[in-house]
């Protein structure tokens, strides 16, 4: 199945727009695990087990594994998700951006080594930096477009010759000539609902991966209203609010409670949105 089909099926099956981001920080692990990078797999697998029926996707952030030499734990985690949550797509948050043979290797890393269903990419170097990922049949490539960090304004909000902003140009290309296999999506931050709406206008059917709900301050209802359209899916990511809901023995149960509350909040917003 294509990534987009797998995503749609998981969204329907779990009645969920929620993606749980897996950003393991050993310094924030519960109890005796605190500070122990050897427990990255155990912690993330516990989160997956607690939330697997509440999400439309999982999103491990590769840097949190690489920084602790935990690539093997990431491989085990990806296999664990496929085993205990079959049909839930995994988006590898890597934000790769390079050309030619190097991009081919990054694509192999994401899709062969880690068996990801989709990967996040930087489009700054143009289409030839994205094309190698599109050779992997059915896999998704989700391009940074209007990110949630304040520094995104430095480039993404700049006006190009002709009057459109850079993020608008990225959205237009992703929805048009770059999307040759129907594999592209876009990253748009929840902290910018007006920009989410503009991206959705330019890319009416592309999946939008929307980080920034929760600790970063994005509003769930505004996010859904801005981005969700018939035939235009959204994937709303929450990481730290779910992962570190409790530092006690109830950490997995607390993660489930927060994930379910967020899922329900998104569902209410979806049901009441005017689209």
Long-range residue pairs from 190-193, CB within 8 A, at least 24 positions apart, any chain: 190/148, 190/216, 190/218, 190/219, 190/220, 190/222, 190/223, 190/236, 191/148, 191/216, 191/217, 191/218, 192/146, 192/148, 193/219, 193/222, 193/223, 193/225, 193/226
Please enumerate in sequence order all residues whose Cβ is within 8 A of that of 102, keeping only pairs 6 or more positions apart, or say none. Answer: none
> Looking at residues 161-183, what average pLDDT do you find?
95
pLDDT at position 122 is 97
pLDDT in tens, 208-217: 999 977 656 6
pLDDT in tens, 52-73: 999 999 999 999 999 999 999 9
pLDDT in tens, 111-166: 999 999 999 999 999 999 999 999 999 999 999 999 988 898 899 999 999 999 99
The domain that holds 129 is classified in CATH as 3.20.20.70
Q: Which domain holds residue 39?
A: 3-272
Domain count, the chain: 1
Give me the chain's average pLDDT, please: 94
Percentage of the chain lying above the pLDDT 70 cut: 97
**In contact, 115 and 37? CB cutoff 8 Å:** no
Catalytic residue at 95? yes
Of 34, 52, 95, 139, the active-site residue reads 95
Check pLDDT > 90 for residue 1.
no
Which range has the worst mean pLDDT, 109-113, 129-133, 228-232, 250-254?
228-232
pLDDT at position 221 is 83
Check pLDDT > 80 for residue 274.
no
């Amino acid at each position: 199945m294509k990534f987009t089909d797998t995503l749609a099926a998981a969204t329907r099956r779990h009645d969920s727009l929620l993606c749980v981001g897996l950003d393991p920080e050993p310094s924030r692990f519960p109890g005796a695990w605190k500070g122990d990078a050897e427990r990255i797999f155990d912690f993330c697998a516990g989160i997956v087990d607690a939330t697997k029926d509440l999400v439309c996707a999982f999103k491990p952030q590769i840097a949190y594994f690489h920084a602790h030499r935990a690539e093997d734990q990431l491989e085990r985690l990806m296999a664990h998700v496929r085993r205990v949550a079959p049909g839930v797509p995994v988006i590898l948050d890597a934000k790769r951006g390079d050309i030619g043979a190097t991009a081919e290797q990054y694509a192999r890393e994401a899709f062969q080594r880690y068996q990801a269903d989709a990967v996040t990419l930087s489009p700054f170097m143009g289409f030839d930096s994205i094309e190698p990922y599109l050779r992997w049949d059915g896999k998704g490539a989700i391009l940074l477009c209007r990110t949630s960090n304040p520094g995104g304004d430095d480039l993404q909000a700049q006006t190009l010759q002709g009057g459109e902003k850079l993020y608008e140009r990225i959205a237009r290309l992703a929805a048009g000539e770059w999307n040759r296999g129907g594999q592209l999506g876009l990253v748009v931050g929840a902290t910018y609902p007006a920009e989410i709406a503009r991206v959705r206008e330019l890319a009416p059917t592309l999946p939008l991966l929307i980080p920034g709900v929760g600790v970063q301050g994005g509003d769930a209802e505004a996010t859904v209203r801005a981005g969700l359209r018939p035939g235009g899916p959204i994937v709303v990511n929450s990481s730290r609010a779910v992962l570190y809901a409790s530092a006690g023995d109830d950490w997995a149960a607390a993660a489930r409670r927060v994930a379910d509350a967020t899922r329900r909040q998104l569902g209410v917003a979806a049901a009441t949105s005017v689209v």
